[in-house]
Chain A
Amino acid sequence: QQQVKQSPQSLIVQKGGISIINCAYENTAFDYFPWYQQFPGKGPALLIAIRPDVSEKKEGRFTISFNKSAKQFSLHIMDSQPGDSATYFCAARSPQNSTLTFGKGTMLLVSP
């Protein structure tokens, strides 16, 4: 049973456009929702994260929107750049052991 569902699987956006990746979770006990960026051959790097008592968090060009009642959250990348081309993972943290449950990832390609 997949506890964190991520969509789309892949995304192509033109340079300067907005990239939007969505995630839905099932376990209401999750207490922290990070997004990770991963380049080929590298480990995931934390991009931005949000707690469930906050509806939106913005850091530079990256924004997380969080809808607790719908159990959904999304990542928006404004003014997308070719350097943003990577795989993005949403995750949710279990409070009991701080382990992360990841979505399956979204491969983003920003065309020049």
Chain B
Amino acid sequence: DTGVSQNPRHKITKRGQNVTFRCDPISEHNRLYWYRQTLGQGPEFLTYFQNEAQLEKSRLLSDRFSAERPKGSFSTLEIQRTEQGDSAMYLCASSLVEGLTEAFFGQGTRLTVV
């Protein structure tokens, strides 16, 4: 395990369909974050977990979005009834809670809604 892994890398879906992305964090990291990045912008925070508990959600996370982290390991991000505005790169990051530790990002999942 050398880093944060995200699958799929790319997803093209039709408007109105549901999509689910998966993130596998670095194994000893107990914090997991989801960010969204649109073209020409920096990543924006969506939500984060500490172990299996979802502790915070951004206002960006509409009710069509849901995230889970069962057993405090991998996480999934589901988008229901996708819209064209959901097209973006979805990034997952993980870190340790203790100490001044860095967040390590995965390669991201590029979502295109057509």
Q: Residues on A close to B: CB < 8 A?
A: 4, 6, 31-32, 34, 36, 41-46, 49, 51, 89, 91, 97-105
Contact = CB atoms under 8 A, between A and B. Distances in A.
Given A44-B91, A98-B103, A99-B33, A104 B42 contact: yes
Interface of B: 4, 6, 31, 33, 35, 40-45, 48, 55-56, 91, 93, 95, 97, 100, 102-108, 110
Contacts of A32: 100
Contacts of B93: 100
A98 B44 CA distance: 13
29 contacts: A31-B100, A34-B102, A34-B103, A36-B105, A41-B110, A43-B91, A44-B105, A45-B105, A46-B104, A51-B100, A91-B42, A97-B55, A98-B95, A98-B103, A99-B33, A99-B45, A99-B48, A100-B33, A100-B35, A100-B43, A100-B45, A101-B45, A102-B42, A102-B44, A103-B42, A104-B41, A104-B42, A105-B40, A105-B42
Q: Is the interface of B mostly helix, strand, loop or mixed?
A: strand
Given A46-B102, A91-B42, A97 B108 contact: no
A44 B6 CA distance: 13
A49 B95 CA distance: 15
B40 A102 contact: no
B44 A49 contact: no
A51 B102 CA distance: 12
B102 A97 contact: no
Contacts of A31: 100
Contacts of B40: 104-105
